[in-house]
Amino acid sequence: MFGIPGKQAISITPAAAAQIQRLMTREGHQGLRIGIKKGGCAGMEYTMDYVSEINPHDEIVEQDGARVMIAPTAQMFLFGTEIDYETSLLEAGFKFRNPNVADACGCGESIKFKDVAELAGAQNVTER
């Protein structure tokens, strides 16, 4: 796992924490696991799954009753990300504000990350 000494891996807005907690309680899940996978026009996409078991290799962030696990393969790419939950007239959903994104497609569904070496250097990431 990777970590930034003295800094939580991600932040969760109060709106996102409330929605995650609601869904955890209603469905009886242990939390929300976020990750990344190849896909979309920019090359990568976020994944979100409610899980019943916590993977011991996940980075766990707990805030206001919400539990978010970061999949091991996504940890470096998600450090510093803020997760929000927004509701508008046309849609409602989780939004990621990720400083590690270099580019995104027009629809906002897929992303391209900065170079791995650049991420490690910029964030001063240490293996733990």
Digit-coded pLDDT (tens) for 80-108: 889 999 998 888 989 888 888 777 766 65
The predicted pLDDT at position 14 comes to 96
Digit-coded pLDDT (tens) for 39-81: 777 678 888 998 888 899 999 999 889 999 999 888 888 888 8
pTM over 0.85: no
Q: Do 9 and 123 contact (CB within 8 A), yes or no?
A: no
- Residue at token pair 């910029």: 122
- Structural domains in the chain, CATH included, are 10-114 (2.60.300.12)
